[in-house]
Amino acid sequence: MRLMILMFILGINSLLAASGYSQSTKISLKMADTRVEDVLNNIESKSEFFFLFNQKQIDVNRKVSIEAKDEKISDILDELFAGTDVKHQVIDRQIVLTTTSGTETQQQGKKVTGKITDSSGASLPGVSVVVKGTTTGVITDNNGNYTLSNISENATLQFSFVGMKMQEIIIASQTNVNVVLADETIGIEEVVAIGYGTARKKDLTGALIRLNADDKATLPNINAVQTMRGSVAGLRVTDNGKAGSDGSIVIRGNRSITAGNEPLIVLDGIPMVGSKLSDISSNDIESIDILKDASSAAIYGSRATNGVILVTTKRGKNSKPVLSYSGYYGFSDFARTPNLMGPDKYLQLKKDASVFLGGQATPLNPIEQEVLDAGGASSPWDAISQNAPMMNHDLSVAGKTDQVNYYFSGSYADQKSVIMCDQFKRLTLRGNIDIKVNDWLNIGTNTGYTFKDYSGIEANVGNASIMSPFAKYKYDDGQPISVPMGDVLAYNPIFDALWIDNYQITNNLFSNIYANIKLPLEGLTYRLNVANNLRYNESKNFTPTYDRDGSKRTSFASQNWSKGKDFTLENILKYNKTFNKIHNVDATLMYGIESTKNTGMYRSGSLLFSDALGYYGVSLGDVQTASASGSEMKAVSSMARAGYRLMDRYMLNLTIRRDGYSAFGSKNKYGNFPSVGLGWVVSEENFLSDVKWLEFLKLRYSYGKNGNRAISPYSSLSLMDASNYKYVFGDGGVTSVGVSPISMANTNLGWESTLASNIGMDFNLFSGRISGAFEYYNMNTKDLLLSSQIPNMTGYATFTTNVGSVNNKGVEITLNTVNVKTGGFEWATTFTFAKNNNKITDLMDIDGDGKGDDDPSNRRFIGKPMFSYLDYVWDGIWQVGDDMTMDPGAKPGFVKFKDVSGPEGVPDGKIDPLDRQILSSSLPDYTAGVTNNLSYKGITLSVLFYTSQGGKASNTWINPGTNFYARLNQLDLPYWTPENPLKDRPSVGYPNPKGYGFYEDRSFIRLQDLSLSFELPKSFLAKTKLNSMKVFVSGKNLATWTKWNGWDPEHAAGYDPYGAASQSGPIMKSFVVGLNLNF
Amino acid sequence: MKKIIYIILILVAVSTGACKENYLNETPLDKFSPENLLVNKAGFESVIYALHVSARDEEGGNIPAMAVGTDVATSGVGDGRFFNNYKEITPTNGDVNQWWDWAYTKILKNANLIITRAENPDIKWTEAEKNSIVAEAKFFRAYTYNVLVNIYNGVPIVDKEFTEPKYDFVRSSRLEVLKFIESDLDYAVLYLPNVVTDSKKDGRIFKAAAYHLLSEVCISLGKETGTATYYDKSIASATKVIDGSTGQYKLMTSRFGNLARPGDVFSDLFWTGQQNRASGNLETIWALQYEYITPGGGTGNNNHDRWWGPKFEDVTDPTGKKLLVCDSLGRSQGGVRPNNYYFYDIWKDNWNDMRNSKYNIRRTWFWNNTASPTYLRTPVKTVVEGGKVYILKLDGTKSSITVDSVRAFYPQIRKIEGLMPNGPANGRTDNDQYRMRLAETYLLRAEAYFHKGDAVLAASDINIVRARAQAKLVTSAQINLDYILDERARELTVEESRRKTLCRLGILVDRVKKYNMKSKDIEAYQQWWPIPQKAIDANRGAELLQNPGYPGAK
C-alpha cells in the first residue's frame, strides 16, 4: 500500500457550528484595570464569540478588573457589567449587549420605534437596524425592540440578521415600524449539501439543484423518488407502477450503454450501496441535493459519472420540542391501460383469423363458449384488479438544546396497487442525534431502520393482456382455473396470486456514527465516519398441490434468506479560514474504505406429503434442493478538495479523487478523477451596482472527470456456473452437478469515465420575482464498460470490455417566477426544461482501420443516439394486385418495405438486410415540467404537468400476427382484410417474417401532480394545543395524453406481452386526503 | 490536544491496516473459475455433465426442426411457420439461431474447454482418466459438428478454448468439417469405454456411440470425396457396435418392461422408463435422460407428445362436445404433423408390420366426453366430401361438423406417449429420448453396403431390423436409397434427425417436393439453412459468407 496520506482536513464544519457553544465554552481571564472594550476584544480572541453593541449605548471605556477561571461566558459577562444597566444575550456565538433603555443619548429629529419578530411571532434580539447609507444604527434588545432617534423622513431602514432575509423599509411618516423577518431558507444564501460538507449555494461552481421536501409534503409520495419526478431539469424518473417500487432515475441522459445509468445516492453523507430510496420515509427527508455536473460530483469519483443525489434527513430546529403528525389516506386505479378487443371485436377477430388461415376453423374454446352462451363477458383488467387503498402515517419529535440536537420519527405506509396482490407495507424508525460533548468534540448518529413487506405474487399483467373477454378465471368453488380461456398459451393471470402463498420482506438498518474533533489549529477539524448498513431479506413460497382438469402442480415449498452488509469508514480533515476578510480558503481531505458482502441461502422441497405446514414444510418434500450464494466487493478511496473564494465574488474549486475497486481487472483496479470549477458573481461587481433589478447573477464553469464502476463483482474474471447444469444419469439416479463457463475473463477491465464540462448561470431578478438557472453541458464518456456482442463461435455471445464512447450535450433551464403577488394572493410558477442530445461517438474497432465500427447486432451505431433501431423502412401495406416481386414472401396485407439499397449501394429490386436503415432512437428529444402554485391565505393549489417529447420504441404488440392472433386476444386496433384494405395496418395474421419492430412514438403529456391544501389560520388554533394544522387533497398521474399503444409510454416496456418486461405494466393514478399537524 | 492527535493517528492506522496490497483482489465466493475447477478428474467430469445437459437442450423447447418440413412431417399450423413456408427460414429465424447458438455456445465451448485445458501438465489425474475425458469431449464435439455441417453446410471450425474475443471467423468447407469430425471420432473410439450395465451410467457415452456416429460420418465422407474406402470404414465402424466388440448390444425381440401394459416389443422400447439398459433394454446406444422432478432431471421438458400429436381437443362430436384432454392422451398441439407418406405410403406393402400396430400408431380415436353419453366410447368416424372432413354420426350419416385433419385429427405415433406426471394439460412426458439405437446402426451399415454396391449385405442388415418387426423380408433386388429411407422412416421417425439424414445425402429438396404436404415450393438453395444474421453481423473482422440464395449472399 502506498504511503497513507494523513487526513487533516481544514474547514468549517457545519455540525460543529451548531448550537451549544455558549453553554459549554469556558473561558479564563485575568485582566486588571482594563477598558471594557479590551476585555471584550480579549474574549473575542480567545473564543469564537463576537459582540454586537452600539458604542453610543455601552460605555466601553469604563475601566474594570476581572478574573475568571474556566467560567461560562454568561457568568463572566454578569460580572463585567455588574452594577450597570447593560444586559447581555448570548445567541450561539453572537453576544448582544443592550441597555434597558435601548435609546440613544442624542434626542434630535424624528424618533422611530418598533419590534422585530420572526415568522413564528417570536421576538428577535440582536437584529441590526441601520439607516441606509449611514453608520447610524442600533441593535434590538432582549425583547426585539429598538428605538432610533434623529432620523430624517426620507431615510430607509435596513433590518438584517444572520440567517434572515434583509428588509428595507422607507420611514416616511411612520414612527412605529414593526418588522417580521423571513428565514432565508430559499435562494442564494441557502446552505446546500455538496458531499463531505456543505456550502452556501451562492458559492457553488457546479450545477447543483436542491429540492426542499416541504414543497412536496402534500403529495402521496411514499417513495422519495416520486418527489423528484418531473421537478428537476435534467433528471428523468421512470415509474413502473408497482407498489413500493423504486423506479429508475437518469440524470442528464444515458452515458453508459451497459454499465448502468443510475446516479449514486448518498444518505446523510454515506453512499447507499445495498439499500434504496424506498428505505427512507419521504417525511424524514429535509432536502435532496442533486449534483449534475462533473466538478460537483467528482468528489464521489468512481461512482459519480451518472450524477449524485444527496439526501439529508431532518434535524431539530427549535429549542422547544415539536411533535408533528402527517398522514394521508386514498385510493389508486389504473392510470392508463392498453385497450383490448371487447366481445364483439374478439368474435370478429376469430372469423377474420379463420379467413386468413384459408378457412381453418378457429373455434372458441369450450370454456369461452360456455361463458358466451351464459351471456357473460369480462375485461381482463377487471379480473386482475383489487381495491387499492393507500395510507401513510408519520410521527416525529424534533428539537435542539445547546448540547443536543435530536430528531426521532416513525412512519407506517400501507399501499396496494390496483393489480391483485401487489402490495407494499413499510415501517420506518429514525433517530438522528448530535451531541456536543465539549468544545472540541462532537459525536452523533444518523440511524434508520426500515421494514418492507412486498408479500404476495402480483397478478401477471402480461398474461392478462392476451386474455379473451370470454375467459373464466375461477371455478364456482373459488379455486382458480389454470387456463381460463382454454388455451395453454394464456395462463391464468391471477393463478399464482391466488394459489401461491408468498412472503417477501426486507429489513434494513442503516447506521452512520460520526465523531467530529476540533484540532488545535484554528479552522482545522477532523471527522470520522463509520457506517454500517445491514440488510436481511426473506422470501418464502408455498404452492399447494393442484390437480384439476388436466392441470397439475405438485406441492412446492421454498425459503430464501439473504444477508448483506455494507461497511464504510471515512477519515475527513477540513480546514476553513478567512484571511484579511476577503480570502476564504476551504479544504477537505478524505481517505476511506468501503466493502459490501452479500450472502444467501436457498432451500426448496417438492412433493410434500402434507400441505399443512405451508412453506415451513420445506423439509417434508421428497425432492430437496439447497444452494448458497455469496459475493464481496471492496473499494479504497482518497480525495482532496480545495476551494478559494475572493471577496465572495470569485470562486475556484479543485478536487481530485483516487478510487480502487475490486471488481475491475487485476491490471486496472485504480482510477483518478480530477475536476476544476470556477465561479464569478457578476452582480457583485461595481459596474453592475446601478442595475437595481439585478439582484444576483453568477456565471459558472466546471470541467472534470468522473467514473462509472457499475458492474457486479467478478465481472473481470472467467466464471463457471454450477447451478444450471445438473443432470441425472439413469432412472431414479442422483443428481450430477455439471459446471460450465459463463463469461470470458478480462484482466484489463477498468473504469468507464466521463469528461464533462458545464457552463451555468444563476440569476435572481426583480427582488426574487424571477430567478433560475441555465446550464449547458457537454459530456464525453469513454472506455465504456460494454458488454458487447461478439461472434458466438467463441462460445460466448457477449464480452465485457472498455471500449467506445458516448457524447451527451444538453441544455437545462430552470425558471422560477412569482407571477402575481398581491393582497395575500400569490401565483408562482416553476418551469423546468431539459434537452439532451445523446450520440455514440465510438465503438470497437474490428477491422483494424483505426476507427470504430458500427455494432448492428446490438443496435449501436456511431454518430447515432443509443437505443437506435436498425430495421426495414415502412412503406405501407401490400394491396391486392400489387407487383410483389421485390419481396417474394409477401402477400396482400403484409407490410411493404422500401427498397433502399442493394449490394451496389443502390436499390436492387430486392428486399434484403441491405435495405435496413437506422431508424429513430427510443430516447426522448426533450422533457419539461411546469409547476404552478397558487396560494391565498393558507390555501395552496399546486399543479404539475410533465411532458416527454420524441423517441420511438418498438411495439410488436400492435401486430396481431406476431402474437397468436388466432388463439389469443389482441390490442383493439384495426387490421387489414381484403374487405377493409387499410394502408397503415397489416393483415390480422401478418407473420412478420423479417422481424420488423413496429415503431411508435413515446411522446406524452401528463398531469402528474395536483394538490390542494389549506392551512388553518393561527387564530383558529389559538385555543387548541396545535401550532399548525394543514389539510389537503392531492392526486397523482391523473391524466396522460399519448399516441403510444402499449403500456405506459414513459417506460415503454412490456410491449411483449409474454416477456418479463410486461412486469412494468400500467402505472397507477391515485387520490388522497391528508392532514399535517404540529404541536 | 496532543492526545487528540494520537487518537487520530491510531484511527488512521486502523483504517489503513485493512488496506493490504491484496485488499482489492477478488476470489469468487460462489462461482468456480477454470483455474480452480479444472485441476483434477472430478473438475473435468463436471464439465462433461454440462455437455450432457446441453446435448439434451438441442431443441431448446423449439419445434423438432430436424423432423418438421421434411418428407416425414410437416406442421399442422395454418400459417407459414415451422417450415410450412420455407421462405420464412431467414437469417433471423428462431430455429436457425437456436441450432447455431446451441452448437457454439453450449456444446463446442465446453468440449473445447476440456480438450484445451486437459493439456495442462499440473492436473492431477492418470493418463487413462485424461484420455477418457477428452474422448467424451471429442465425441460431443464431433456429434455437434455433424449437426452443423448437415444443416448449414461448411461452418467455422473452432477447436480450442477462447480466452479473448475473436472477430474473424471464416467458414471451412464441408469436407474439412467432415474430416475434422472423423479425426475426433478416431480419437474417441480409442479411449471411450465399452458399455457396461450399470444404472448409474445409463445415459453416458460409450465406445459404441462414437462408432455409430463414425459409421454415419464416413458415409458422408464417401459421398463428399467419392472414395469408396470410406464406406468400408463406415461398415467396419458399425460392425464394432453390432458384433459385441464394444460391449453387448442386441435388438430386443421379446416383450420387456411393464408387461401388464398391452403392447408389443416395439412399443415396449418407447414406454416410460424402458430406454435404459438397467430396464433390460440392450438396444440403446445413447439416450437423453429425463427424470421426474429431480434436480437436473429436466422434468416436463420432453416435448415430443406436445409437438407430434394431433390437436385433438379441437375435434367436436355431432352434438358439439369436444374430445377431452386426458391422462392417456396428453395434450398435443399438432405442431409436427407426419405426412401421408409416413401414415400410409410406407406401410401399404406390409400393413401388418409391427411398427404399424395399434400399439405403435393410434389410428382409432374414441369419444371420451362424458357430457356426450350418446357418443361415449364409440370411435370417431369421418368422411371426406368436397375437400372437407365431416364428423359422422353413429348411424353413419354426415354431421354438419367439420374437422381440420391436418392439425386436429390424424393418427398418433405412440412413441411419444408415456406417463404424464406433470399433468396431461402440460402435454409433456419425462420419457428418456433415444439419440442412437442399435436398429439405426444396422440401417447405417446397410446404407454403407448400398453405397458400396453390395445390395445383398444391405438387404441382410435391413432384414435383421424387419425381422424384429415381424415384417416381410426384403430382397436385395428391392434395395435402393428410397427403400432405405422408407425403412428408416418406419423404424426411426420421431427419433431420427430426418433433416440431417436427407441433407447428408443431398436429397432434402427432392424428398420434400415429393412427400411434404405443404412445402412443395421449396427451392434448391433451401437445402441448407442460412447462416444466422447475428453471427455475420458480429463477425466484423472477416466476412462470414452467407449460404447462396439467402439475403446478403454473394
Question: Would you write out chain B's pLDDT as a tens digit for each of its 554 residues?
Answer: 555 555 555 555 545 544 556 889 888 888 899 989 999 999 999 999 999 999 999 998 889 999 999 999 999 998 889 999 999 999 989 999 999 999 999 999 999 999 999 999 999 999 999 999 999 999 999 999 999 999 999 999 999 999 989 999 999 999 999 999 999 999 999 999 999 999 999 999 999 999 999 999 999 999 999 999 999 999 999 999 999 999 999 999 999 999 999 999 999 999 999 999 999 999 999 999 999 988 999 988 999 999 999 999 889 888 878 888 888 888 899 999 999 999 999 999 999 999 999 999 999 999 998 888 999 999 999 999 988 899 999 999 998 888 989 999 999 999 999 999 888 888 899 999 999 999 999 999 999 999 999 999 999 999 999 999 999 999 999 999 999 999 999 999 999 999 999 999 999 999 999 999 999 999 999 999 999 998 998 898 899 999 999 988 98
8 Å CB contact of A1 and B20: yes
pLDDT (0 to 100) of residue B212:
98
- Please identify among residues 53-72 of chain A the ones whose CB lies closer than 8 Å to any CB of chain B: none
DSSP annotation of A105: S
Dist. CA B152–CA B545, nearest whole Å: 11
Whether the pLDDT of residue A746 is over 80: the answer is: yes
- Please identify among residues 142-201 of chain A the ones whose CB lies closer than 8 Å to any CB of chain B: none
Whole-number CA gyration radius for chain B: 27
- Please identify among residues 415-444 of chain B the ones whose CB lies closer than 8 Å to any CB of chain A: 421-427, 432
Q: Which chain A residue is nearest to residue B79, measuring alpha carbons?
A: A357
Please, what's the b/e burial string for A638-648 (b: 16 or more CB within 10 A of its CB; e: otherwise)?
A: bbbbbbebeee
pLDDT tens digits for A295-353? 788 788 878 888 889 999 998 888 788 999 999 999 999 988 888 999 999 999 999 98
Dist. CA A968–CA A965, nearest whole Å: 6
More confident residue, B504 or A103: B504
pLDDT (0 to 100) of residue A1064:
67
Which residues lie across from A200 on neighbouring strands? A191
pLDDT tens digits for A907-933? 988 998 889 999 888 889 999 999 999
Whether the pLDDT of residue A462 is over 90: the answer is: no
Confidence of residue A8 (pLDDT cuts 50, 70, 90): very low
Please, what's the b/e burial string for A872-891 (b: 16 or more CB within 10 A of its CB; e: otherwise)?
A: bebeebbeeeeebebbebbe
Task: Judge contact between A1067 and A336, C-beta under 8 A.
Answer: yes
A3 touches chain B (CB under 8 A): no
Q: Name every chain A residue with its beta carbon within 8 A of the beta carbon of B29.
A: 599, 629-632
A333: its cell numbers: 386505479
pLDDT (0 to 100) of residue A7:
30
Q: How many CB pairs under 8 A join A and B?
A: 335
8 Å CB contact of B204 and A914: no
SS (H, E, C) B377-418: CCECCEEEECCEEEEECCCCCEEEEECCCCCCCCCEEHHHCC
- Please identify among residues 664-693 of chain A the ones whose CB lies closer than 8 Å to any CB of chain B: 666, 669
Q: Name every chain B residue with its beta carbon within 8 A of the beta carbon of A635.
A: 24
pLDDT (0 to 100) of residue A3:
31
What angle, 0 to 180 degrees and rounded to 10, lies between the N-to-C axes of helices B455-468 and B438-452?
Answer: 160
Task: Judge contact between A574 and A587, C-beta under 8 A.
Answer: yes
Taking residues A888-895, what's their average pLDDT?
90
| Chain A interface mutation, best of B49, B321, B429, highest count of A Cβ atoms under 10 Å | B49
> Nearest by CB to A569, which of B15, B161, B539?
B15
Whether the pLDDT of residue A832 is over 90: the answer is: yes
Confidence of residue A103 (pLDDT cuts 50, 70, 90): very low
More confident residue, A257 or A611: A611
Task: Judge contact between A676 and A691, C-beta under 8 A.
Answer: no
A761 touches chain B (CB under 8 A): no
Q: Which chain A residue is nearest to residue B54, measuring alpha carbons?
A: A725
8 Å CB contact of A488 and B105: no
Three-class DSSP category at A511: strand
> Nearest by CB to B425, which of A482, A725, A734?
A482
Q: Name every chain A residue with its beta carbon within 8 A of the beta carbon of B24.
A: 634-636, 660-662, 669
What are the φ/ψ torsions at residue A349 (nearest 5 degrees)?
-60, -45
Confidence of residue A1058 (pLDDT cuts 50, 70, 90): low
pLDDT tens digits for A78-101? 888 887 878 777 766 777 777 765
A843: its cell numbers: 465503438
A601 touches chain B (CB under 8 A): no
More confident residue, A187 or A396: A396
- Could you report the predicted ipTM of this complex, rounded to two decimals? 0.95
pLDDT (0 to 100) of residue A12:
30
Q: Name every chain B residue with its beta carbon within 8 A of the beta carbon of A729.
A: 52, 200-204, 289
B453 touches chain A (CB under 8 A): no
Residue A898 to residues A166, A629, A913, A1016, B334: CA-CA distances in angstroms?
68, 52, 11, 66, 36
Q: What is the identity of the amino acid at A182?
A: A
Task: Judge contact between A420 and A385, C-beta under 8 A.
Answer: yes
8 Å CB contact of A720 and B24: no
Residue B14 to residues A592, A871, B9, B11: CA-CA distances in angstroms?
11, 59, 9, 5
pLDDT (0 to 100) of residue B20:
55
Residue A912: CB partners within 8 Å, gap ≥ 6?
A902, B551, B552
Neighbours of A626 (CB within 10 A): 11
> Nearest by CB to B533, which of A591, A635, A913?
A913
pLDDT tens digits for A573-600? 999 888 888 899 999 999 999 999 999 9
- Mean pLDDT of the residues in chain A: 86
> Nearest by CB to A571, which of B12, B56, B204?
B12
- Please identify among residues 862-901 of chain A the ones whose CB lies closer than 8 Å to any CB of chain B: 888-889
> Nearest by CB to B540, which of A662, A669, A847?
A847
Q: Which chain B residue is nearest to residue A992, measuring alpha carbons?
A: B88
Three-class DSSP category at A67: strand
Taking residues A477-483, what's their average pLDDT?
93
- Please identify among residues 302-341 of chain B the ones whose CB lies closer than 8 Å to any CB of chain A: 314, 316, 322, 325-326, 331
Whether the pLDDT of residue A1062 is over 70: the answer is: no
B454 touches chain A (CB under 8 A): no
Task: Judge contact between A240 and A217, C-beta under 8 A.
Answer: no
pTM of the model: 0.79
8 Å CB contact of A731 and B427: no
| Chain B interface mutation, best of A4, A562, A720, highest count of B Cβ atoms under 10 Å | A720
8 Å CB contact of B538 and A571: no
pLDDT (0 to 100) of residue A19:
43
Whether the pLDDT of residue A460 is over 50: the answer is: yes
* Burial class, A37, CB count within 10 angstroms (exposed 0-12 / middle 13-18 / buried 19+): middle
E strands, A222-307, are 235-238, 248-251, 264-267, 270-271, 285-291
Q: Name every chain A residue with its beta carbon within 8 A of the beta carbon of B4.
A: 440, 517, 519-520, 526
pLDDT tens digits for A105-128? 444 567 888 888 876 667 777 788
Q: How many residues does chain B have?
A: 554
Report which of A138, A156, A154 is spatially closest to residue A146, judged by C-alpha positions: A138
A356-365, A517-526, A666-675, B52-61, range with the lowest pLDDT: A356-365
- Please identify among residues 11-30 of chain A the ones whose CB lies closer than 8 Å to any CB of chain B: none
8 Å CB contact of A519 and B4: yes
pLDDT (0 to 100) of residue A1053:
63
8 Å CB contact of A789 and B538: yes
pLDDT (0 to 100) of residue A163:
64
pLDDT (0 to 100) of residue B182:
98
Name the most confidently modeled range: A30-39, A520-529, B16-25. A520-529
pLDDT (0 to 100) of residue A1065:
75
Largest CA distance in chain B: 113
8 Å CB contact of A797 and B322: no
